[in-house]
Amino acid sequence: MTASIEANLVGVYEAMGHGALDAVDIPSVGIEGNASSQSARLLTNKIATIGKLIGDAPAKTKRRMSRDAEPTPRRLIAIGASAGGPAAVAAVLSAFPVDFDGAIVLVQHLDAQFVPGLTDWLGQHTPLPIRPAREKDSPQAGTVLVASSADHLVFKSAQQLGYTPSPKDNFYRPSVDVFFGSAAQWWPGSVIGVLLTGMGRDGARGLRQLRDKGHLTIAQDRATSAVYGMPKAAAEIGAAVDILPLSAIGSRIIEACERST
Spatial separation of the C-alpha atoms in residues 245 and 223, rounded to whole Å: 7
Q: Among the options 22, 177, 202, 221, which is catalytic?
A: 202
Q: Among the options 22, 82, 151, 221, which is catalytic?
A: 82
Spatial separation of the C-alpha atoms in residues 190 and 210, rounded to whole Å: 10
Instruction: From residue 184, give the alpha-carbon distance in Å to each of 84, 118, 127, 216.
Output: 25, 26, 28, 11
Adjacent-strand bridge partners of 2: 25
Q: Give me the sign of the Cα torsion angle 111, 113, 119, 125.
A: negative
Spatial separation of the C-alpha atoms in residues 253 and 169, rounded to whole Å: 33
Backbone angles phi, psi at 115, to 5 degrees: -65, -45
Tell me whether residue 202 is one of the annotated catalytic residues: yes
203 and 236 Cβ atoms separated by less than 8 Å: no
Spatial separation of the C-alpha atoms in residues 88 and 225, rounded to whole Å: 8
Spatial separation of the C-alpha atoms in residues 54 and 142, rounded to whole Å: 35
Q: Among the options 22, 109, 149, 221, which is catalytic?
A: 109
End-to-end distance of the chain based on CA atoms, in angstroms? 47
Tell me whether residue 109 is one of the annotated catalytic residues: yes
Beta strand pairing status for 161-164 and 152-155? antiparallel
Backbone angles phi, psi at 76, to 5 degrees: -115, 130
Reported as type and span, the H/E element at residue 93 is helix 85-93
The residues annotated with a catalytic role in the active site are 82, 109, 202
